[in-house]
Structure 1
């Protein structure tokens, strides 16, 4: 019998003797009071599906070890804190504040949380056993299996629509006010939305002028990676050009040709995604958040937020009772 919970946060709670108690239709794992009262709330709405929201500051390094031969994926939407993903024989991967996809390598791997670092994230653990029944005998089924997910890239799941679904999941877990079936629906909605961003047949370059060489792709990736590390503290344009080894005009053209979006637009979208996460912090006013996002005028910030998300910051807070 498959022991799905061995890969869930419940296993971490057992390893570190965290206090487990009922929380809505799931459980919450409380860290000791001297750990700034951290917690991980987790719901298991169906076989092979675990949905979680976490807020913690460890007083010591903690390691979540997973060793499962069963196909699954984990999606993380990290608000703050850098989690390190490690697998023997592979280079360690830093999971910084953005959305990340981890496919089970079907051998042991770990997530490391460092001492005195504040973490806030939403995670979804999805086994193929959860997905398969929904796809069985369905015509034109979306390609959302774990095998399909191996082809997904960051640009497919790091989008405003995916961020909004993650926010809905986060607050459904924390507010404990949704039926279990809703988590199944939101998870399927999330996976299906990713497939919408992932075309079956990539568009071919119609003009040699728009072609980006492999070497320049690697340079552009370094620039994007630097932007994603800390969207609210961006290097200036001169530094981005230095990283790419390109002039400003070539950097902007290459970025647009490769990712299909202008560099300035990408930065605005990522900034507004971060703003959406910051809106969950009760101690921050919308004016505070606008300043953190580089806007001196809250009205201009609200307009930019609405342009990306289709809703104003104040209406977003109201929709989640924040």
Structure 2
């Protein structure tokens, strides 16, 4: 069993057949290229002086499907954004879980974890690894000594994986072109911003919504989210979603807000805008085409929603990133 999560991830590149690129590496971090016999692409690690925080940025395609096994004794929190859905994992003897696109949160359980990456498919993610010491220091400043450690954070992120603000911060982390100490200063500021946004969301008072949810209710709510996620261009009515969840329309709206902290419409909008963000960066589709692909027939309406969520319009976003 590995003791330190930082050591584990820093040694991971060699185990995954990556070679360091000296001219792109230094004291603040390293950039690796996957050996051609095993695939193509890169992996970047940004290390911080106190070894309580690590950021990983990946974009690679393995030739063959591989399994990565980890067992780390140190307590840590991982917050990631996946831009691909070619990975899966299982913890201990549990069933295999698919990693979907979006925000993902993991608290180390000190159990053996198996991660699978599918051969021939792109693996693109941004990971923030926070040790317990870093995490505790931040949240105790704001919540005091009596806070409930990581559970409220993981619950919040698992229920709200599509928040535009969180996705945008991850995109800024990935796009940062700074180097050396300036890079570390910028990125740690973004990590603090991310944690602050999580804390702000956690402070919303959902407990006053007058509905109690059991396991079956939550499972049925997740079915409606899956329906929306699998077809972003569809416009399911509230009655249709409620019927799928086995609830009355009124109870469904209350239950959805209780569990996810927002309305079904807002949740669908967040998924659409996050998909649009990725398409603006990673495709050459026109604005109108992207709007249609995420369910908006009026590109002007789409642009207004995008600007409200991210602070700049889709064309401005592309201009900032040098995309024509």
Give the deviation of 1:164 after TM superposition: 1.4
Instruction: Check whether the contact 1:4–1:48 (CA below 8 A) recurs between aligned residues.
Output: no
TM-score, structure 1 as length reference: 0.82
Separation of aligned partners in 1, 2:320 and 2:203: 32
Which residue matches 1:37? 40
Which residue matches 1:26? 29
Which residue matches 1:66? 70
Separation of aligned partners in 1, 2:121 and 2:169: 26
Separation of aligned partners in 2, 1:197 and 1:97: 21
Pairing of 1:1-322 with structure 2 (within 5 A): 3-8=4-9, 10-22=10-22, 23=24, 25-33=28-36, 37-46=40-49, 47-132=51-136, 138=141, 146=150, 149-156=153-160, 158-172=162-176, 175-177=177-179, 178-199=182-203, 202-205=206-209, 210-214=210-214, 215-228=216-229, 230=230, 232=232, 236=236, 240=241, 243-246=244-247, 251-252=252-253, 254-256=255-257, 258-322=259-323
Instruction: Check whether the contact 1:45–1:183 (CA below 8 A) recurs between aligned residues.
Output: no
Separation of aligned partners in 2, 1:18 and 1:218: 40
Instruction: Check whether the contact 1:72–1:146 (CA below 8 A) recurs between aligned residues.
Output: no
Q: Where does the alignment leave 5 or more consecutive residues of structure 1 unmatched?
A: none
Determine helix, strand or coil for the equivalent of 1:179: helix
Determine helix, strand or coil for the equivalent of 2:189: helix
Would the alpha carbon gap of residues 200 and 291 (structure 1) be closer, same or farther in structure 2, given more than 3 Å must change? closer
Would the alpha carbon gap of residues 153 and 216 (structure 1) be closer, same or farther in structure 2, given more than 3 Å must change? same
Separation of aligned partners in 2, 1:274 and 1:88: 32
Which region of structure 1 is more displaced relative to structure 2, 188-197 or 293-302? 293-302
Separation of aligned partners in 1, 2:199 and 2:289: 35
Determine helix, strand or coil for the equivalent of 2:271: helix
Separation of aligned partners in 2, 1:37 and 1:57: 5
Cα deviations by residue, 1:235-258 (Å, 9 ceiling, x for unpaired): 855975564245667645643455
Separation of aligned partners in 1, 2:60 and 2:8: 19
Q: Where does the alignment leave 5 or more consecutive residues of structure 2 unmatched?
A: none
Separation of aligned partners in 2, 1:260 and 1:140: 20
Would the alpha carbon gap of residues 151 and 80 (structure 1) be closer, same or farther in structure 2, given more than 3 Å must change? closer
Cα deviations by residue, 1:247-303 (Å, 9 ceiling, x for unpaired): 667645643455343322221121112211222215333233223212333222212
TM-score, structure 2 as length reference: 0.82
Instruction: Check whether the contact 1:82–1:95 (CA below 8 A) recurs between aligned residues.
Output: yes
Number of paired residues? 313
Separation of aligned partners in 2, 1:226 and 1:104: 30
Instruction: Check whether the contact 1:83–1:94 (CA below 8 A) recurs between aligned residues.
Output: yes
Cα deviations by residue, 1:134-179 (Å, 9 ceiling, x for unpaired): 567x47559695466455442355412111111111112xx34442
Separation of aligned partners in 2, 1:231 and 1:65: 33
Which region of structure 1 is more displaced relative to structure 2, 57-66 or 15-24? 15-24
Which region of structure 1 is more displaced relative to structure 2, 262-271 or 239-248? 239-248
Separation of aligned partners in 2, 1:259 and 1:244: 14
Instruction: Check whether the contact 1:212–1:258 (CA below 8 A) recurs between aligned residues.
Output: no
Give the deviation of 1:77 after TM superposition: 0.6
Would the alpha carbon gap of residues 321 and 92 (structure 1) be closer, same or farther in structure 2, given more than 3 Å must change? same
Separation of aligned partners in 2, 1:200 and 1:114: 38
Instruction: Check whether the contact 2:272–2:295 (CA below 8 A) recurs between aligned residues.
Output: no
Give the deviation of 1:14 after TM superposition: 1.3
Would the alpha carbon gap of residues 144 and 74 (structure 1) be closer, same or farther in structure 2, given more than 3 Å must change? farther
Determine helix, strand or coil for the equivalent of 2:134: helix
Give the deviation of 1:107 after TM superposition: 2.2
